Amino acid sequence: MLVLAAAQAPAQSPAPAKARSMQEILDASKASDWRTLDPDNTLYLDLAAGRVVIELAPDFAPEHVANLRTLAREGYWNGLSINRSQDNFVVQWGDAAEDEKARKPLGTAKTKLPAEFTSTSKNLSFHALPDRDGWAPQVGFAEGFPAGRDPANGATWIAHCYGAVGAGRDVAADSSNGTELYVVTGQSPRQLDRNMSMVGRVVQGMELLSVLPRGTGPLGFYEKPEQRMPIQAIRLASQVPAGERTRLEVLRTDTRLFDELVEARRNRRDDFYKRPAGHIDLCNVPLPVRVPKG
């Protein structure tokens, strides 16, 4: 029992002399520790309050992301709205019309897509965390996304961490077409992992979604049309003139610098923390972004 207790708290040992804080680590980062988002893999959700920037995940849900690109290029969501905000869970947008006949046509986008809950693509890089997780055999970062993995069959999936973006669906696994998207705004609902087609992650602007008033209808849907938050536009960054794009770099998750950053959060060495945790949850790992220099 004592051995187990000790294993739970390795951080009680003195900090190594060279431990740096997260800020010091970021300040010492090199250009190669950062990556620029691909404009064809970046979705801008523009609201009156500002812009939410989403990185798409074609390696995980290629058919969904292809459909999202078509929908964005054809302006499908422009003028639609955020229709749901359920406390400690998700916000969701799409076409609020309940009557199928009243819904906005999908243009050239597909109306039917396969379920894309996990990926076994050989192209997916996976950078594992050593920390144990109750929801998945293994967790870490795949192409920069917080992810679970099953080494037994090589399946990888985007985890439902804060900011994860998924495709809403009905009961049937293959009933999502990408028009209804949700974003996690609460405690990570990891029970949804491997049950949903995940299309990306919010990299900037979560605070515009997380503060939306909670809907008072079932599942947090707004009961009155005027409570819905209008969507000005959802566009691919590549559709937007270069001067109007949001300049952004994202910290790479497959570097030694990132490992050092995670360790700085796993065991906080500053004076405030009296007992470093000796552990970090996948969904507690910060994923810094910055405005590129120059």
Residues that bind a second copy (CB under 8 A): 1-2, 4-5, 8, 87-88, 115, 117, 131-137, 150-153, 161-162, 171, 173, 186-191, 193-195, 206-207, 210-214, 265, 268, 271-277, 279-281, 283-284
Q: Do 202 and 54 touch, CB atoms closer than 8 A?
A: yes
The nearest distance, CB 227 to a second copy, in angstroms, is 13
**Residues 294, 289: Cα–Cα separation, whole Å:** 16
Nearer to a second copy, 286 or 292 (CB): 286
Nearer to a second copy, 189 or 200 (CB): 189
The nearest distance, CB 236 to a second copy, in angstroms, is 25
At position 177, the amino acid (one-letter code) is N
Nearer to a second copy, 234 or 285 (CB): 285
The nearest distance, CB 214 to a second copy, in angstroms, is 4
The nearest distance, CB 30 to a second copy, in angstroms, is 26
Beta bridge partners of 289: 250
The nearest distance, CB 271 to a second copy, in angstroms, is 5
Nearer to a second copy, 108 or 187 (CB): 187
**Residues 165, 55: Cα–Cα separation, whole Å:** 9
The nearest distance, CB 247 to a second copy, in angstroms, is 20
Q: Write down the residue that tokens 């229709």 correspond to.
A: 83
Which of 264, 262, 269, 267 lies closest to 283, judged by CA? 262
Question: Token pair for residue 163?
Answer: 């900011």
The nearest distance, CB 241 to a second copy, in angstroms, is 28
Nearer to a second copy, 5 or 102 (CB): 5
Q: Can you say whether residue 278 is alpha, beta or left, with left for phi > 0 and alpha for psi between -120 and 50 degrees? A: left
Nearer to a second copy, 247 or 275 (CB): 275
Q: Write down the residue that tokens 């004076």 correspond to.
A: 271
Nearer to a second copy, 50 or 79 (CB): 50
Measured CA to CA in angstroms, residue 292 lies from 28, 179, 190, 257 at distances of 15, 32, 33, 18
Phi, psi of 183 (to 5 degrees): -125, 135
**Residues 180, 271: Cα–Cα separation, whole Å:** 45
